[in-house]
Amino acid sequence: MAPSNTPYHHGDLPSALVHAAMELLEEDGAVDLSLRAAARRAGVSTAAPYRHFADRDALLSAVAAVGYRDLAEQLVAASPAPSTAEDLAAIAVAYVRFALARPALFRVMFSDPCDPTSPERVAATTAIHEYVRAIVRQAFPDADEESLATAMWALVHGLAFLYLHGKFGAEALEDRVRTTVFAVLELPGPTPA
């Protein structure tokens, strides 16, 4: 067996394992995703992952951290400099669309147990929370920033899971999400897109 400081043949085994796990999730939801399955997909021995991940939950935390970063990119792409309720509604739509486009990853991010002490995961979730707080601070300067940010995240997150569980059809997603955000903010409905 190689010494622990010897790099693996593909250079970055932790990233390769996370990538493999994400591929398995994308393919079939990988409800039974394991370190062994990720190792097989990455082309390494089933013992190799344990040098980098203590257990399945540690791997899922790393996968969730990547998901949070991907989600953050989608939110920023929806509104690069959010400052209005309309921007907040566009970001809400992007959040729900991300959940529908990558349902298995979204569930890992928010449903599966993940190590809350994972620095990557904590940093990624903190970044999203701060992003939402910054929007609230800019768009609603007189509001209780923390409470409104929490309420908006809970609202949009709840909508995402309602869509994931088939409670709403995707045909009017944008309109439903936008009007729901405006209703909660007690604002007149958004202007038609």
CB-based burial, 77-90: b 16+ in 10 Å, e otherwise:
ebbeebeebbbbbb
Is 10:52 a contact under the CB 8 Å cutoff? no
In the three-class reduction of DSSP (H, G, I as helix; E, B as strand; rest coil), residue 80 is classed as coil
pLDDT for residue 121 is more than 90: no
Instruction: Give this prediction's pTM.
Output: 0.84
Q: Which residue has the higher pLDDT, 47 or 70?
A: 70
d(CA 177, CA 166): 15
What does the pLDDT read at residue 152? 92
What does the pLDDT read at residue 5? 40
pLDDT per residue over 30-56, tens digit each?
Answer: 667 888 989 999 989 888 888 888 888
pLDDT for residue 8 is more than 90: no
Q: Where does the pLDDT of residue 105 fall: very low under 50, low under 70, confident under 90, or very high at 90 and above?
A: very high
Q: Where does the pLDDT of residue 20 fall: very low under 50, low under 70, confident under 90, or very high at 90 and above?
A: very high
Tell me the domains of the chain and their CATH numbers. Answer: 10-53 (1.10.10), 57-184 (1.10.357.10)
